[in-house]
Structure 1
Amino acid sequence: MKPAAYLVRLVALALAVSTLAACSINEYLDERSKIDYKSAGKLPPLDIPPDLASPRGDGRFTIPERAADARTASGFERSRAAAQGTRAATVLPATPGVRMERLGADRWLVTDLSPDQVWPLLREFWQESGFIVQTESPETGIIETDWAENRAKIPLDFVRRTIGKALDQLYSTGERDKFRTRVERGPNGTEIYVSHRGMIEVYSTREQDQTVWQPRPSEPELEIEFMRRMMVKLGATQERAQEAVAAAGTPAAARAKLVAEGDRPRVEIAESFDRAWRQIGLALDRGGFTVDDRDRSLGVYFVRYIDPEAQAKAANARPGFFSRMFGFKKEEQVSQQFQLKAEATGNGTVVTVLDREGKAVAGLDRDTASKILTLLHEQLK
């Protein structure tokens, strides 16, 4: 081969490689800015709602009831247009108001829709976002997803971009996320809170031949992003939702203090009862508590707590961990119920832990109550 021809081919090959590398980098940066969740479980079969006898057909083929002017083609079109207009007015109500509010580092949504109207929209939102709704309790206002993986975090390298469609399941981020949505009736509308919990896969041996899953810190940025998308689902424009996120101010300083001395361990929150109640609810969601019930008039949350580290260790110690941790089955551990009571004081709000009957904890339960208060304080900081 002539030197000149060889040099031309070499230059062409170098340009091709650099072009592919540039494309890979651009696509990688685009992928990192996206959210693309894939649930670890399988979607349940679709069921027809009990109040839906049969699917609605295409309106173009609906024959309206016979009217006086329906004998002509123009009369038929007028009747059909009137029927469609009535139907559209029922299906597409006026766009409700929805806004994002903030107190310190906490954010939540407020909408004019009632909880009954919001509930199916939120359930649909999480399913459209790639999650399976694992738990939903209208009584407590809780919707919780299963564990899912954000596939957008996987680097889009040359191999994955070329043959990733066929072998995509071989790639993993080593992280899983789940989200809890809590719906409450507020003084100015329906309040919606979103909290995140995460797990990460780490090596458990020096040889790096075995891995275990362990909890990782929650990500407020993910909560904010999903609330922004939720605003759009509830009727806001993309621009309005983005403005709501950018309009939030600087987070306030921590105003919670853990008091462990004496016969009455407690958490003191330098906020009014209404604000403290909201903060406690978010702290319970992020801390992995199960809220069986709540009574705002009494200032009581009825909670159960399973230590996520103990849960991960127990699951890692048994075969089939992946299906246990990220599948549909409910947690096998049975935890004791406690009351978390919030009381207004002259300087703010005091939170204490009581037993199931609302009495002071005693014996071994004191250690559990102390751990609950410590975790609550960590989430409130």
Structure 2
Amino acid sequence: MKPVLGVVTVVLLAVLSGCGYLGGNDGYFRDRGSDYQEVQVDPRISVPAGIESKPMGDLLPVPGQFETGSSNEKFELPRPQPMIVSADAAEYSLQQNGSVRWVQAQRSPTEVWPLVRNFWNDYNIAIATETPSLGELETGWVAFDLQPDNPLLRRILPAIGQGREVEGQELRFRLRVEPGVQGGSSEIFITHMSRSQGGSRSDWPDNSDNGNLERAVLAELETYLNQTPGGASITSLAAAQAGPGATLAKDGAGNPVLTMQSDYNRAWSAVGQALGQADIRIADLNRSAGVYYIDLAEAASRQDKPGFFGRLFGSDEESEEDTAQRSEVRLTAVGGSVQVTVDKSIDTAADPRVATDVLERIQSNLN
């Protein structure tokens, strides 16, 4: 009963004082946005003569020219200036976070794929296997002592490190192109492994055998991509894919199913971006369960948060009406593809018309 009495007390005080207790210039919740205009600038502290002191810079410097206004004036927060992207900025850059390194590309995976493929071909490094739909390729085994004139191997040789034997050793690389955090960008990762020439080692390690060598190859790739003409005639990744990227059909029960020819990680990222582009609000998500919880009653662009009094007198829990409007976009890995369905709950399918509409909007916004 104590929280209820506290709320009643606040309401009574607001009514008795004509809401002046809460709002207004003298109220408890008055607008303090213009208080900074009443602050006085004090003179700089001077150290008496004969006392040694270390020079100290201004921690909070005040601009040399500024306008003072009246405390009665309402301060209007200016809109932020648009971010300017320099035309001279590199389209590809080498990034590192701890021990993880990658090349950041300001292009989509479909544009990057043929370029990274040409990188290996131009340096005469044979491609053993490739899966364009997953954005992965593996090179064949190469040896420094058998290809001494190869320019790529010659430039990355110092990264092996002094005292490390390269005679009788061979190595190969695995490259992976993933969608970047920002739309229309990509991240390129490279892993390398080595073995004795003709050895039986074939399983890829979790991390590269030599981090310095991995960085050297990524640096070479970054330079190559930045020097590649943007208008070069290339074959896109979409054209290299076998079969359609996403097809909409019905299962045995007549429920719509969107099948994506992709691995789970790329499908999860692509569906999340497609929901945002389709202006479908994602209320919650559970990546381990492969579920996006969407709210079809409210668009993502019109999502409003409750104000102070809404949070004070309202409930933090969602209403039954909001919960009833929720649906689940579920991703399920099946073999080499991912199936996307729309359910009401884990054991209840959504209305076929609603599910079809959602899946069509996802399909039309897939990159």
Q: Give the TM-score taking structure 1 as reference length.
A: 0.34
Q: Which has the larger radius of gyration?
A: 2
Q: Give the TM-score taking structure 2 as reference length.
A: 0.35
The answer to which structure has the higher helix fraction is 1
Q: Comparing both chains, which one has the higher relative contact order based on Cα–Cα distances under 8 Å and sequence gaps of 6 or more?
A: 1
